[in-house]
């Protein structure tokens, strides 16, 4: 049994596109409280992502001890500031203005747990440079992108119209979407979870 401990639509879509058979169960971890505590302890962006990913995976795996549970999280840092998912389109607009013309770092972490214990984890970073766009361009982008971008820590969907925001991207595409997919698939295949075990491939 494979469980994704995340509400992220993009992570869910990535696993589905990869042909994995899984269910989704939210962890109930208070991410805002955990982030505040970690930031107070001067934890870096990658440490924040890894800690949250592990907490999510462990919390759900304790409910389903025999299942393999995937937890994942992403953080965005720019000029020493840690950004959160914007709660509204207005907040997303201001966040994108703050990131405009800047290079920011996106840190993603994925953890697999079973029986409440971490079995494996992988961290990746990407660097993204936003164009020095005009506010009229930004308004057009927000009108096209819609409320869905508030589910993204960067307020952009690189797989969609969000690609127009950038002048340069250095890093793994899947990592930017919120899940270092290739190392995860390799790990799962070593534990008998992959295309060869999906219902479509059964005799």
Q: Which residues are catalytic?
A: 73
Query: Per the structure block, which two tokens stand in for 77?
Result: 């840092």
> Given the DSSP bridges, would you call strands 68-78 and 103-114 parallel, antiparallel or unpaired?
antiparallel
103-114 and 117-130 beta bridge pairing:
antiparallel
What CA–CA distance (Å, rounded) separates 56 from 25?
10
The helix or strand, by DSSP H or E, that contains position 105, with its residue range, turns out to be: strand 103-114
Q: How many angstroms separate the CA atoms of 157 and 164, rounded?
A: 10
Report how far apart the first and last C-alpha atoms of the chain are (Å, whole number).
Answer: 19
Q: Where do runs of H (alpha helix) occur along the chain? A: 9-17, 31-40, 45-63, 89-99, 135-145, 173-176, 181-189
């Amino acid at each position: 049994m494979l469980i994704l401990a995340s509400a992220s639509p993009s992570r869910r879509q990535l696993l589905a596109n990869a042909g994995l058979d899984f269910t989704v169960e939210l962890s109930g971890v208070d991410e805002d409280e955990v982030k505040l505590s970690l930031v107070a302890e001067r934890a870096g962006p990658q440490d924040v992502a890894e800690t949250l990913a592990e907490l999510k995976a462990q919390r759900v795996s304790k409910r389903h001890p025999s299942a393999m549970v995937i937890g994942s999280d992403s953080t965005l840092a720019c000029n020493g500031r840690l950004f959160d998912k914007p709660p509204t389109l207005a907040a997303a607009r201001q966040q994108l203005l703050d990131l405009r013309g800047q290079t920011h770092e996106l840190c993603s972490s994925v953890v697999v747990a079973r029986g409440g214990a971490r079995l494996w984890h992988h961290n990746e970073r990407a660097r993204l440079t936003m164009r020095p766009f005009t506010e009229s361009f930004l308004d057009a982008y927000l009108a096209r992108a819609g409320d869905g971008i508030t589910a993204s820590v960067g307020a952009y969907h690189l797989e969609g119209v969000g690609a127009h925001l950038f002048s340069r991207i250095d890093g793994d595409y899947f990592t930017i979407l919120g899940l270092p997919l290739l190392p995860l698939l390799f790990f799962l295949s070593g534990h008998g979870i992959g295309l060869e075990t999906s219902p479509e491939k059964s005799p």
